[in-house]
Structure 1
Amino acid sequence: YMGVKLDKEKNNALASYKDVKEGFINADDSKVKVIVIPTNEELMIAMDTEEIVSAL
């Protein structure tokens, strides 16, 4: 789709660093760069909730 090609080895290598490391997982001949960026949505939701509740 849209020229995206993933590299399974790159993806699997980053998967072992779950939620810690970012990196590109596109194949060398992919028309599109694909980057994995770790996030922590649960922490952000908790912090936003604390801020809202503290303001009540």
Structure 2
Amino acid sequence: MWSAFGICDVTCGNGTMTRTRQCNNPKPLNGGEDCQGPSQTNGQCILNRCPSKANLKVVQ
């Protein structure tokens, strides 16, 4: 069973989120093999646009 995707690895712009899979539904019996294929997968996350450096102001 796949887990939900984790949080995005960036706070703005495009990033990656990861989810993992466990072979527990049903669990392999009597020394059976684990699930075939990857145990982890990534997805793309697209967040709000990052502010440009020109728009940043220094507050004193």
Give the TM-score normalised by the residue count of structure 2. Answer: 0.24
**Which of structures 1 and 2 has the bigger CA Rg?**
2
Please state which structure has a larger fraction of its residues in strand.
Answer: 2
| Bigger relative CO (Cα 8 Å, ≥ 6 apart) | 2
Please state which structure has a larger fraction of its residues in helix.
Answer: 1
